[in-house]
Each structure stands twice: as C-alpha cells, then as structure tokens.
C-alpha cells in the first residue's frame, strides 16, 4: 500500500499500533485491510520463545512525527470539547458527542496538517475518534474479517485473537492498565444499556452489529479484568464454501437439501466452535422462496438471502434489576403465533426449549436447531435424559441428526455424521467421516429416510435417488462457478424451485447463471 506523506516528508518511519512484536523467526502470512479509513497491515510470524505465532498489526501510514502530532491534537481536542466520562458513555448522547469531536478534529487537522488532502484528513479523523471515543487499538482488530475472537485476559498480557486460518495468536497490542480494560468494558456496556461494576462484575451483551461481548472484573477474574469479543461474521458461510473447504461433500449436502426441500426437520449437533451455526446458515439457503421463516438466536449469526420471507428474532438479557429477559423459550412460543413455515433455533439448551421445539414439529412446522453433542448417539441420549428429558415417543419427529466436528489440532471443521432417527427413537448413521482419508462417506443404507419421503411425496425410491443426484449436480455447479455470495447462492436455489428446467440447462452446459454474474468474484 502506498505511504501517505504529510508536509512532503521524504521518509516515513513506520511504527507499530502498540508494542513491537518479539523477534520473529519466519513470516507465515501477510495481508492488508481498512479499519474505517485507516489502512492496516497484518503480519503473522513465528517468534523465538513463543509457543503460538504473533499477530502484528500496524497502521501503514503513521510516522513517529505524525503520531506525536496526533497525540498532541487528541489532548487539545479533549480540552476544547470539555466532555465528562458520563457524556462519553451516555448512549443517547453518542451521535452528538461524535459529531462534536469530528467537527473539532477537522479544525485541528487543518491547523497541524495544512497540506493534508481529503483522504488523509478522513483517515486521521477516524484514527482520532477511535482513540478518543472508542476502544482504541481494539477497534483496529474489530474490522479484520479473518478474526473470530478478540480476547483481553489482563493488562500484563498482550491481546489474543482467534484467527480463521491460524487459530489462537498473540498480538502486539497491550492495554495500559487494568483501569483501561474496565473503562472499555463500561463503554461497551453503556452503549447497549447495561452496566458493569464492582457490584455487578459480569457483563454479557450483544453489540449493534451482532458481535457478542463478555466481560469480567477483579476479583471475579483473579488475574485481571477480562473482555472477550466473539465477532459476528461479516462474510456468511454458504454451501459452496462448505464444499470447497472439504467440510461436507456435495453428495451429503444433496441429501440434506432433499430433507429440507420436503420439510423434514433436523438437528445440527456438535461441540463448541464445531461449525453448527455456520452449517445451519448454509442449509437454510435450501429453503423455498415462498415460505415464511422465523429464526431465533441469542446472537444474530444467521444470514439468509435477502429475497427470502425471513423474520429474525433475538433473545434479550435481563436488565440490572433482573427484569425484561426474553429467552429462547419465550420466542419459540411466540413464533408459533406468527404463521411460520420453517423455524430456525440457534441453540436448544433447556427442557422448555426442547419441549416447545417438538411441539412445533408436531403442529406441522419444519424446525431446524443446533444442539451440543459430539455424536448422533450422544444427541439422542442428551435429548431423552435429564435435564432435557424429551419423551422418546416424540423423538422420531426429528428426521435427521447432522453432527459437526472440529479437529482442535488442525482447526478444520467437518461434517462428522449424518444419521436418521428411527420410529423407536433409535438412530442409524448412514454417512460417517473418515478421519484418515479426510472425507465423508457412506456408512450404511438408510432405513427410514426414503420411506418417509415416499410416504409424503408419492415418489418411488428410484425417483428420489434421481432427484438427489440432480441436487448434487446443482451444488457441484455452484462450486465450479465459484458462486460464493449468500444472495447469489440463494438466487440459484430459488431458481431451482421456480424454474428448474431453465436452471438445469445452465448446470448441464456449465454456463454461469445470469443473475449470479454480478455477485461472483472476478
């Protein structure tokens, strides 16, 4: 990225966004992105004496002299604007405060950087607003789409991040002291109408963009104050990405599509961070465009194609007095009054949620939910035993159990099992992941899947197999044409339902479907 020069300086000395990283022994990855108008460069490197790689973030265009002047502007800015902490933290005053800061910053930038062009002035303004009103250097990490998690453990440790490709990494960013971590936690809390203090040392909140934040204060967290930010994916997963990444085979995806097409309910099971919600999001792309969909989540993670008839609902935590909570059970009961054709549940945890979910299925709704279990057998056992304790007679209402798996050594996520639930609440795994060969393959014959489909469609088993093959061709076509965008994928799936003959002509000739052209990468 080209360096900007201020006042025509010939040499721009790069400085890190925070403390320098330890001496490195080999670069693993390098890339650039923009945080607001701020150009950021990232280097991931092995470091001597470190057991995990170092994620080094730098602001590409700030020299030592420029940074000195910016800090001088920031101090002058605080004096001129004359705001108290209460004003900065007051969510109702946020737009006015930010507007006042930007107006004052513009005058100060013209004073200290008279030769700065419009783009440079915009970059400097964004930098100063983030440093003065936001989370400082943490804001830079929030805009890296490669990061899933941002973690502050204590002031004596660097900020940690969980990278989509490289897993856990230490950054070169440090916070000044425990008080600064506490201030950031309070800032986050106040922006969403919640508080964190010595009397209430735990915070669990959702930010406006969907990111989930958890914070703890001393002495609850004995080593120091903590903040954990789970980022909401700005680039939603699609079935194309799952197949291209080897998470699921096109054949297995076609079986899942077949179940969803004919309104068979399913549970996506798996351990923590195994890709349950990502898989649910991808499989939801298979919904027909003429049905109403209700999604229920703690954190907004599901992103469906924009032309689907979709109503997203989110839970709400109780306020400081312990009132106003809206949980998944409440939303599930309410959703049944909204005439849904399909219901997506982010995660079933409690007995009430499970009971309502099965009640919804028995009243004629197709339901898809995520659930913590490592195998199909474990899912059945957890559902039918305390504390969830669903009567086993109700369990066959779930047609499929799709199990997701995450290899913690490599970080790879895979579909581990696809099983059907049999009439006596037993299960039959007919697709199983082979760890050595890294592929999902047939594990046996289906015992109830085709019988159920034959009953409700009137099709023969041969016709059903032919349709699964047809759906597999469409999925392979999406992969060949590199159709990755959620709306483009959804548009092609919708075409399958509305004008299958037209779509299949594109599939067989391997020509890019016209509507998908503008959404596909070059």
Q: Is 229 helix (H, G, I), strand (E, B) or coil?
A: strand
CB atoms within 10 A of CB 213: 22
**Residues 49-88 pLDDT 10s:** 889 999 999 886 677 677 777 777 777 776 666 554 444 4
State residue 320's pLDDT score.
Answer: 66
Compare 146 and 517 and report the one with higher pLDDT.
Answer: 146
pLDDT value at position 219?
Answer: 93
> pLDDT value at position 147?
94
Higher pLDDT among residues 515 and 311, named by residue: 311
Write down all domains in the chain, each with its CATH number in brackets: 24-230 (3.30.450.380), 239-458 (3.40.50.300)
Give whole-number Cα distances, 461 to 257, 455, 467, in Å: 16, 11, 10
Average pLDDT value for residue range 505-516 = 85
Residue 35 reports pLDDT greater than 90: no
In the predicted model, is pLDDT for residue 10 greater than 50? no
pLDDT of 140 over the 90 cut: no
Confidence of residue 95 (pLDDT cuts 50, 70, 90): low
pLDDT score of 306: 87
Query: Is the pLDDT higher at 107 or at 377?
Result: 377
User: In a 3-state reduction of DSSP, which class is residue 54?
Assistant: strand
Sign of the Cα torsion 365, 366, 369, 373 reads positive
What percentage of the chain reaches a pLDDT higher than 70? 87
Band of pLDDT at residue 12, cut at 50, 70 and 90 = very low
pLDDT 10s digits, 320-340: 677 889 988 899 999 999 999
Region 178-200: what's the mean pLDDT? Answer: 87
Separation between Cα atoms, residue 239 and residue 481, nearest integer Å = 13
pLDDT of residue 23: 54
Task: Give the number of other Cβ atoms within 10 Å of residue 161's Cβ.
Answer: 25
- The answer on pLDDT for 480 being more than 60 is yes
**Is 6 or 147 the better-scoring residue by pLDDT?**
147
Residue 1 has pLDDT above 70, yes or no: no
Given a cut of 80, is residue 454 above it in pLDDT? yes
Higher confidence at residue 209 or residue 151?
151
Mean pLDDT within 356-372: 90
Kindly state the tokens that stand for 213: 């934040």
Nearest one of 329, 353, 357, 363 to 343, comparing CA atoms:
357
Q: What local confidence, expressed as pLDDT, does residue 199 receive?
A: 87
The rounded percent of the chain whose pLDDT value lies above 90 is: 55
Q: What is the pTM of this model?
A: 0.75
The neighbour count for residue 109, using CB atoms within 10 Å, is: 20
Contacts 24+ apart (CB under 8 A), 172-179: 172/16, 172/17, 172/18, 172/19, 172/20, 172/21, 172/54, 172/55, 172/56, 172/57, 173/17, 173/18, 173/19, 173/57, 173/137, 173/138, 173/140, 173/141, 174/18, 174/19, 178/154, 178/218, 178/224, 178/225
How open is the CA angle 376-348-333, to the nearest 5 degrees?
Answer: 135
Residue 92 has pLDDT above 70, yes or no: no
Least Cα distance to 139 among 149, 151, 127 occurs for: 127
**Selected residue with higher pLDDT from 397 and 59:** 397
Residue pair 131/72 in contact by the 8 Å Cβ criterion? no
pLDDT at 97 over 90: no
Q: Pick the closest to residue 176 from 137, 133, 125, 215 (CA basis).
A: 137
Cβ–Cβ < 8 Å for 216, 205: no
For 237-290, how does the pLDDT look when each residue is reduced to its tens digit (9 = 90+)?
899 999 999 999 999 999 999 999 999 999 999 998 899 989 999 999 999 999
Q: Tell which residue, 298, 299, 301, has the closest CA to residue 327.
A: 298
Q: At what angle do helices 500-509 and 461-480 cross, to 10 degrees?
A: 60
pLDDT of 84 reads 46
pLDDT band, very low/low/confident/very high, at 307 (cuts 50, 70, 90): confident
Least confident of 60-64, 219-223, 412-416: 60-64
Give the chain's largest Cα–Cα span. 79
Q: 159-173, 223-237, 385-399: lowest mean pLDDT where? A: 223-237
């Amino acid at each position: 990225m080209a360096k900007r020069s201020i006042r025509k300086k010939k040499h721009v000395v790069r400085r890190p966004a925070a403390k320098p990283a330890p001496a490195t022994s080999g670069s693993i990855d390098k890339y650039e992105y923009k945080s607001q108008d701020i150009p950021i460069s990232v280097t991931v490197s092995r470091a001597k004496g470190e057991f995990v790689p170092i994620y080094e973030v730098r602001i590409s265009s700030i020299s030592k002299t420029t940074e000195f002047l910016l800090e001088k502007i920031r101090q002058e800015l605080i004096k001129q604007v004359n705001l108290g902490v209460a004003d900065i933290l007051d969510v109702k005053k946020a737009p006015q405060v930010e507007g006042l800061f930007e107006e004052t910053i513009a005058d100060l930038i013209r004073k200290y950087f008279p030769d700065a062009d419009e783009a440079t002035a915009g970059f400097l303004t964004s930098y100063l607003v983030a440093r003065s009103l936001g989370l400082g250097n943490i804001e830079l990490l929030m805009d890296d789409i490669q990061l899933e998690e941002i973690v502050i453990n204590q002031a004596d440790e660097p900020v940690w991040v969980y990278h989509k490709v490289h897993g856990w990494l230490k950054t070169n960013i440090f916070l000044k002291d425990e008080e600064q971590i506490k201030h950031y936690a309070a800032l986050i809390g106040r922006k969403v109408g919640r508080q964190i203090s010595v009397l209430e040392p735990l915070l669990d909140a959702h930010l406006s963009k969907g990111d989930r934040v958890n914070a703890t204060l001393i002495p609850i967290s004995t080593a120091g104050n903590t903040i954990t930010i789970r980022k909401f994916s700005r680039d939603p997963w699609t079935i194309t990405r799952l197949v291209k990444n080897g998470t699921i085979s096109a054949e297995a995806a076609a079986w899942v599509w077949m179940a969803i097409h004919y309104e068979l309910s399913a549970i996506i099971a798996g351990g923590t961070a195994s890709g349950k919600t990502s898989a649910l999001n991808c499989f939801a792309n298979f919904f027909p465009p003429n049905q109403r969909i209700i999604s229920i989540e703690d954190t907004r993670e599901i992103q469906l194609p924009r032309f689907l008839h979709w109503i997203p609902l989110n839970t709400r935590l109780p306020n400081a007095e312990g009132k106003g909570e809206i949980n998944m059970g409440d939303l599930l009961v309410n959703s049944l009054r909204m005439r849904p054709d399909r219901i997506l549940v982010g995660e079933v945890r409690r007995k009430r949620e499970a009971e309502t979910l099965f009640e919804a299925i028995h009243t004629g709704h197709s339901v898809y939910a995520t659930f913590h279990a490592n195998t199909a057998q474990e899912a059945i056992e957890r559902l039918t035993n305390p504390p969830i304790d669903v009567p086993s007679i109700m369990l066959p209402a779930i047609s499929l159990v799709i199990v997701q798996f995450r290899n913690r050594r490599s970080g790879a996520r895979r579909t581990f099992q696809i099983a059907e639930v049999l009439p006596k609440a037993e299960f039959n795994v007919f697709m199983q992941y082979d760890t050595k060969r890294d592929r999902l393959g047939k594990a046996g014959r289906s015992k109830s899947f085709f019988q159920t489909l034959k009953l409700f469609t009137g099709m023969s088993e041969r016709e059903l197999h032919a349709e699964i093959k047809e759906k597999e061709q469409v999925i392979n076509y999406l992969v060949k044409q590199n159709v990755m965008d959620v709306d483009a994928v959804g548009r092609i799936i919708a075409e399958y339902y509305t004008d299958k003959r037209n779509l299949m002509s594109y599939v067989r000739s391997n020509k890019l479907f016209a509507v998908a052209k503008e959404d596909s990468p070059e």
